[in-house]
Structure 1
Amino acid sequence: MSDQEEAMDTQINKDLYEALMNNDDAKVLDKCASIPKGPLHTVTIHEDTVIHIATYHKKTALVLQLLNMVSATDSHKLTWTNKGGSTILHETATNNKTVDAAREMLRRAPMLLSISNKVGETPLFYAARHGKTKIFKYLHDEVCKSNQGPDLKTFLSRDDKSSILHLAVLSKNYWMAHEIAVRHKHLIHEKDEDNMTPLQLLSSRKLEVCPTNFFKKQIYKLIDPNVEDTSWMLKPLKRLRKQKFACHWARKLITLLVQNDTSWEKTESMFTKQRSKFHQFGKGKSIAQLEELAAQEASKHEPETPLILATKSGCTEVVTEILEQYPQAIEHIDQDGRNILHVAILYRNHEVFDFVVDRKYAKQRLRGKIDNDANTLLHMVGEQREDDEIDADLKGPAYVLKENMQMFKKVKDLTTTLDLFKLNSKLKPAEQMFYENNDKLRMEAKNWMTDNAKNYSIVAVLIATVAFTAAYTIPGGVDKNGQPVFKSSPLFMFFTAADAVSLSAALTSVIIFLNVITSTFKFKDFEGSLILKMDAGIMMLMISLAMLMVAFAATLILTISRGKKWTDITLYVVSFFPVIIFTFAFVGIHKIDASKYYAKFKSILWEPMLSLFSNANPKPAVWYSRPPNPSAHPPSAF
């Protein structure tokens, strides 16, 4: 190609690419009509044709027009592949808006359906990888029409052994994954190049859960996840519907996959290679020998079973489903000699821990076991994890240490007396190991709480100063008798009360923060008192700030209001706007803590009171307004 021809080709590519990016369909069609290859002209450095790019950008109408420009005698040219081996049909698999384009492509060139790209992905597999439901359904139907038995395997897997079920799970399209598992059951047991089954992939991460916000949760309950026409929905509703749809089908998929999975039966022996020791004397392995053994064990490790993976990742739905369908799976032991309680404690999965402990028989069977390093359940609390530093950054080291202390206490109440004295392979009892491994976190928590308490104290003193000053510079001043001008106004009493509460709360928070700064910061202090003091100090500071805003708003209205309706309404809105914003911001930040306090109140006071009137014991007939109907069915969940 001469320099002049190369320059012309570059200019054509530039014009076509810009027209495609700017949605100038008329210019694209005109350009394609004026060049020899037409819509099959390669426009990118990766050898994508004009139809490739138009399809990728969901321009179905343009794609159909471009296909009409290709003569019937040139239909075989539609099988052109770019440098990645993808055809124009592969590009339709990246979105749901090109089903009509895919139908026309297959009508003109049916061989497109079976062409694989350079990693062995057919268009059907490509659709599964991108999680696009509509195009997947169409391509799947087309594949099943002409291919059955062994011929179907090409379409269901790629070169690295991953199946379309693996990719549907990874793309979080659980409806698609469920349909694939129902229609191609043999894929449930297929393993990818890392020896992972679809259920193991699903167990490796948390699922979508319902919103924590109260109002969103109520809307979430009312939404029908299977509604197809969402054009009338606002974006927030669409997001909630999509979230509920994913959660709904994820649970169905979990039930189906668990029914066909018995990997928990492949377990290590309940008798570990370590024996329990209660003192440091006698024969023992050196640290070098222990490290060598650990390295040898690590080299033999295979992927964990779904039960263990789900416990590690926090996918509680998989764990509960496995244990509901197979209660005997509770005794499964992983390659490190750990049972499910060991893993739940190590990864701080409180839901799984509580679920297992609530089963009395399971608790008795598991609580005294040790792993390959002779660690008891109590040792697991002191084990350090990679996520500890991340949690400390997100939550604050004091709150992480508090959770560790509470977990230690919870596990200590569960374990046997002998577990308190057992030594692990490093000849350390659980309590010593916990304190040694958490000492650095304790120092970080001490510095964090001290710094925060000092900063909060400064803010509280400033608020107290302003509130104290406002008490002696009352709005409107005083009359000749020394009485406040606005004394008879209800807003003046509102101002006085708000200012007094602000001053009192600010001074109280200062006292609390000083108490925190001067604390000893021992481990037991972090279990409850220090965190409670810090939370109480912050709460009082927030109340003080909120009341100061209210006092400001009352002062503004008292001094500026002229009795005109619309002026007063505007003034009220402007005055109380900071209070409203502050309230929502504060509730948003501390809603998790509030839910914890509510749960604690419910468990300590409310539930015991209700238990007095529960159906645990027979009640006199007069207790019932009407005879109970034992045949009545519970209301449907949907």
Structure 2
Amino acid sequence: MASSFYSESILAAARLDAYEVVDEILCRAPNTINCQNEEGHNVIQLAVITRSERVYNLIHRIIVQSERYRTMTDSYKNNLVHLAGRLAPSFVLERTNGAALQLQQELLWREQMEKLMSPLELEKENMYKETPAILFTREHQDLIKQGENWMKITAESCSITAALTVTVVFAAAITVPGGSNQESGVPLFKNEIAFTIFAISNAFSLFTAATALLLFLSILTARFSERDFLVTLPQRLIFGLFMLFLSTTTMIVALICGFACLPISVIVTIKLPLLIDLIRSTYFPIFGKKSYLESCKIYRESAIFRRAGVFDFGM
């Protein structure tokens, strides 16, 4: 009776990633985890379909400790990896900037579901004779193309900035401040501290800008397969942007004329949010134990679920 009363509420909460509501309802009525919508999807399946990461993290241990939940399928014989292979709703994709990072998040969800399955489960076909891999490729073919274009456009704009930086610092290197001795070629200010700072900063800027340029060019010549968007391409872009930022910073230190650095500095500042998003998306996993889960009741009162006999939530 309680399960029926909370059915619509817990399903709506799962779709909206309202983990506090799901936590409260599961504590009151553990059997509501089996409630289904009109398409036959329960709370776990809805969390995967709608990419509700906080709800998924909340019920992750339930899935891991129950083979029934790990291997369950919907009315179209889609297992959890199939469901993770479906394209996320548009309102979910819009949370992430850039098609490449959106695709990365989709790949992370697929990878997480694959960890729950045996190799045989990963090759099972649904009602339409599609394996999870085939379904993912079909659903994400447009996003893959958009991600490739986004990566190329970003790499091209950054490579132009890197090339401009190389040009500026190289010109500064061959045009030594204060000139050189006409006979020996030794810089006149070689014993000055300011000149030493200039020389070191300029050299560092040149090398880092050249490294960044090579990294951006490697992105432009990449094959852009599905798996490349998970780690390889984001890492190259992260290191390329990081090298570009270092190069610009040291260039500003090296050059006395700050106005000459202003255009490049503006471009780098614009790209800083992108670097932050890349690092967060690539190196800070969305799955696993999270601090907000410590306050959830189903982590503190697991005896409720053992008594209900719905699942064993062993500690």
TM-score grouping bracket, smaller chain normalisation: 0.7 to 0.9
Cα deviation for residue 529 of structure 1 reads 0.8
Count of aligned pairs between the two proteins? 285
2:134 counterpart of 1:396: no
Q: Which amino acid aligns with 2:14?
A: T
Distance 1:343 1:464, change over 3 A: same
Equivalent residue number for residue 500 of structure 1: 203
1:102-134 CA-to-partner distances (Å, cap 9, x unmatched) read xxxxxxxxxxxxxxxxxxxxxxxxxxxxxxxxx
Equivalent residue number for residue 452 of structure 1: 154
Task: Provide the secondary structure at the position in 2 that maps to 1:395.
Answer: coil
Equivalent residue number for residue 39 of structure 2: 336
Cα deviation for residue 467 of structure 1 reads 0.8
Cα deviation for residue 384 of structure 1 reads 2.7
- Contact (CA 8 Å) 1:401, 1:442: kept in 2 or not? yes
Choose from 464, 478, 484 the match for 2:187: 484
Distance (whole Å) between structure 2 residues aligned to residue 490 and residue 406 of structure 1:
50
- Contact (CA 8 Å) 1:356, 1:362: kept in 2 or not? no
Task: Provide the secondary structure at the position in 1 that maps to 2:229.
Answer: helix
- Contact (CA 8 Å) 2:82, 2:132: kept in 1 or not? yes
Equivalent residue number for residue 122 of structure 2: 420
Structure 1 unpaired stretches of 5+: 1-261, 268-302, 558-573, 604-638
Task: Provide the secondary structure at the position in 2 that maps to 1:358.
Answer: helix
Distance (whole Å) between structure 1 residues aligned to residue 156 and residue 262 of structure 2:
29
2:173 counterpart of 1:471: yes
Task: Provide the secondary structure at the position in 2 that maps to 1:320.
Answer: helix
Choose from 76, 79, 88 the match for 1:376: 79
Distance (whole Å) between structure 2 residues aligned to residue 517 and residue 595 of structure 1:
23
2:219 counterpart of 1:516: yes
Cα deviation for residue 539 of structure 1 reads 1.8
Task: Provide the secondary structure at the position in 2 that maps to 1:494.
Answer: helix
**Aligned ranges for residues 78-89 of structure 1 at < 5 Å?**
none
Distance (whole Å) between structure 2 residues aligned to residue 580 and residue 448 of structure 1:
22
1:343-370 CA-to-partner distances (Å, cap 9, x unmatched) read 1111112222222113366643412112
- Contact (CA 8 Å) 1:369, 1:376: kept in 2 or not? yes
Distance (whole Å) between structure 2 residues aligned to residue 439 and residue 411 of structure 1:
20
Equivalent residue number for residue 134 of structure 2: 432
Task: Provide the secondary structure at the position in 1 that maps to 2:201.
Answer: helix
Q: Which amino acid aligns with 1:351?
A: R
Distance (whole Å) between structure 2 residues aligned to residue 587 and residue 516 of structure 1:
19
Equivalent residue number for residue 308 of structure 1: 11
2:265 counterpart of 1:527: no
Identity %: 26
Equivalent residue number for residue 23 of structure 2: 320
Distance (whole Å) between structure 1 residues aligned to residue 145 and residue 270 of structure 2:
30
Distance (whole Å) between structure 2 residues aligned to residue 306 and residue 492 of structure 1:
69
- Contact (CA 8 Å) 2:156, 2:216: kept in 1 or not? yes
Higher relative contact order (CA 8 A, sep 6+): 2
Q: Which amino acid aligns with 1:364?
A: E
Structure showing greater radius of gyration is 1
Q: Which amino acid aligns with 1:537?
A: G
- Contact (CA 8 Å) 1:467, 1:502: kept in 2 or not? yes
- Contact (CA 8 Å) 1:357, 1:363: kept in 2 or not? no
- Contact (CA 8 Å) 1:339, 1:366: kept in 2 or not? no
Distance (whole Å) between structure 2 residues aligned to residue 459 and residue 577 of structure 1:
12
Choose from 551, 572, 575 the match for 2:254: 551
Equivalent residue number for residue 105 of structure 1: none
Q: Which amino acid aligns with 2:18?
A: C
- Contact (CA 8 Å) 2:215, 2:236: kept in 1 or not? yes
Distance (whole Å) between structure 2 residues aligned to residue 451 and residue 471 of structure 1:
30
- Contact (CA 8 Å) 1:356, 1:363: kept in 2 or not? no
Distance (whole Å) between structure 1 residues aligned to residue 150 and residue 262 of structure 2:
33
**Aligned ranges for residues 535-614 of structure 1 at < 5 Å?**
535-552=238-255, 555-556=256-257, 588-595=273-280, 599=284
- Contact (CA 8 Å) 1:402, 1:526: kept in 2 or not? yes
Equivalent residue number for residue 163 of structure 1: none
Cα deviation for residue 315 of structure 1 reads 2.1
Cα deviation for residue 388 of structure 1 reads 6.9
Cα deviation for residue 469 of structure 1 reads 0.6
Cα deviation for residue 487 of structure 1 reads 2.7
2:181 counterpart of 1:443: no
2:4 counterpart of 1:266: yes
- Contact (CA 8 Å) 1:345, 1:377: kept in 2 or not? yes
Distance (whole Å) between structure 1 residues aligned to residue 206 and residue 197 of structure 2:
14
Distance (whole Å) between structure 2 residues aligned to residue 489 and residue 321 of structure 1:
69
Q: Which amino acid aligns with 1:266?
A: S
Choose from 160, 164, 169 the match for 1:462: 164
Task: Provide the secondary structure at the position in 1 that maps to 2:94.
Answer: helix
Equivalent residue number for residue 406 of structure 1: 108
**Aligned ranges for residues 84-123 of structure 1 at < 5 Å?**
none
Distance (whole Å) between structure 1 residues aligned to residue 271 and residue 55 of structure 2:
31
Task: Provide the secondary structure at the position in 1 that maps to 2:176.
Answer: coil
Structure 2 unpaired stretches of 5+: 289-315
Distance (whole Å) between structure 2 residues aligned to residue 528 and residue 445 of structure 1:
14
Task: Provide the secondary structure at the position in 1 that maps to 2:130.
Answer: coil
- Contact (CA 8 Å) 2:248, 2:265: kept in 1 or not? no
Task: Provide the secondary structure at the position in 2 that maps to 1:266.
Answer: helix
Distance (whole Å) between structure 2 residues aligned to residue 457 and residue 598 of structure 1:
24
- Contact (CA 8 Å) 1:368, 1:377: kept in 2 or not? yes
Task: Provide the secondary structure at the position in 2 that maps to 1:408.
Answer: helix
Distance (whole Å) between structure 2 residues aligned to residue 319 and residue 516 of structure 1:
42
Cα deviation for residue 321 of structure 1 reads 3.0
1:526-552 CA-to-partner distances (Å, cap 9, x unmatched) read 221112112221221222222212222
Task: Provide the secondary structure at the position in 1 that maps to 2:103.
Answer: helix
Q: Which amino acid aligns with 2:214?
A: I
Distance 1:479 1:320, change over 3 A: farther
Distance (whole Å) between structure 2 residues aligned to residue 511 and residue 425 of structure 1:
47
Cα deviation for residue 423 of structure 1 reads 3.0
Distance 1:374 1:396, change over 3 A: same
- Contact (CA 8 Å) 2:7, 2:32: kept in 1 or not? no
- Contact (CA 8 Å) 2:238, 2:278: kept in 1 or not? no
Task: Provide the secondary structure at the position in 2 that maps to 1:305.
Answer: helix
- Contact (CA 8 Å) 1:467, 1:499: kept in 2 or not? yes
Distance (whole Å) between structure 2 residues aligned to residue 575 and residue 446 of structure 1:
33
Distance 1:479 1:336, change over 3 A: same
